[in-house]
Structure 1
């Protein structure tokens, strides 16, 4: 190896030193060596920068991944909370609708047919539902948090991630509250529906007793009452349809009262009590047959000079019904046996709607013979039972009439 000119060759085993150390004048060698030192510093600086950049990159990646994971959890919680709120909102809307129908029912009820205790139960259910609705509305008023835009740098990402975790926990709490409240809202709705249907049921059930309390009402109005009660009894839930059915029943009941008052007004006067006794007697002979009565001075060309007249119109279709017209003389002679026998004859016509196949109804003679036979089968033997007017009926008719009750 050669030795530079400015370095004294050392002895074997010694050291070569620069000339300026041994007294040579300052020259190019020290400068040359000093130019090599900055290169090493640059390398170290670059290496440090690379290390720092790598560390920062790792932190950025970690921050990104943490944020993305938190954002995914937030999105799931947000969707779940929206679903829970939607279910609660739907249940609350249904409860509000049911409550409104219940209020309409109570407001429209005139108390003609419904039971007061059932009404109190319905009002209590509505009041309790109001508290449940208030709680549900408070939950639904909560504003769901917004995740916002994703930050770009790790120093913002870490803070945003923590915020997402907090918002996610808040959303999960809201969802739990909504999920817990939905069954309570459903129970409140069911309570109103059940109380409302029980309330309506009392009206449908009361129709029969109401009819019995207004026997003088016209047949058509009683039939309308029965049909309205039947329609209402088919209702299964408290809604506008069931309310309409209730109102129809209530209107029918009012019409029954009105028609009875009109009938009683027509029958008024000194013969009123006797007429009502005659009608009650006729009804007792034909249970299940809807009877309506008209009274006139002359019926079927009879009623003057002590004579009595009767005329019956009946319908073969459902329900079993008939209209019996009687002369005033029937009431005037009541309760004479001949008066009772004539009424029994007319009821024999009316009750034939229950026994259509027991006799020949193709001729007027056979129709009258049947009514006479039926009166005889009931034990009314006075000739006013039809024998005087139409002759004695065949024994076969009398035997058959025993089976018509």
Structure 2
């Protein structure tokens, strides 16, 4: 067989060995953290009143470790061009519904690692300025496309290539939906999404039970408006296939905003529908997850939200998943993304503020260690497209913000000269 014009090994041989920064900021719960050797250090002292606060800092959780290992496995198999083995591995994880401790599908993490080098090469080329050699922008994805010649009937590899096009489309679009983007970049973005849609159109119907393919289909909605009920039903199918994974519920909420394919009444309706369908797993948590990012992104989304339903959902989520990853995510969300730590003891005036005030009991009753990357992502509104130039500084900023916000929660005790120690055993308040 003649050698294809682009061989993926040729492209990857010019790339760094480590996982790209995109993997490290993909999601608070999948972020790659510092080595485990620096795990659970005592918190460093910050400016008063944080000096009166003691809590451990966990730089790598079990969830981080599991996600990183799967991403690296997918990346390794791609670099070795072991495509059939990669496909079999993704198919096995998808069909068995394997997930990480935090509910992240293993199939998605393997696929993300497998395409990361190609996507990262485009991102670096564009971040360094428009390259003179346009081949830098297409060589990687063309190499992936060439793989289809030998695996044309493989739905998982086809979906993997489609997801690479979607990721590259977002690289062309750039971070921030409100930013002005050149027409050239928008055309490139649209072209990649169109190619992804073409690739996915023929495979999803053949595997109706695949959460991996359903997620790939739903990813297309991020770049195009569609009829509200169509989007809602597509996400409902995905949620039913992967109910332990809260990310599709959060994505559904964003898609139900008026700026995307929905409306505020549609957001409320889908939050209640999702809560009903996932009650056996999340209790009222499905309602909370659908509103989660929508409420943080669009303050007007709080017009119809039921704050007590949302807060009941917070409690049910922690009852279902009482991990410190989850406690940090929910605490940072209420304290930072919704501004609960900024209220200075004032009485909530709006439903959004009522939900934000849950930061107090979340931190007092459930937080036992700080996960800095989660807090740093919360300060960015959980915007996965935000560029992170230094993971170390990003993490340090999250740690400083967490300490500051937690100190605000305990401001009354600290003002009376008490010291706060948060340990795995719980909260300890001492005098002197």
- The TM-score, its normalising length taken from structure 1, stands at 0.24
Bigger Rg, structure 1 or 2:
1
Question: Normalized per residue, which structure has more helix?
Answer: 1
- The TM-score, its normalising length taken from structure 2, stands at 0.23
Greater relative CO, 1 or 2 (CA 8 Å, sep 6+)? 2
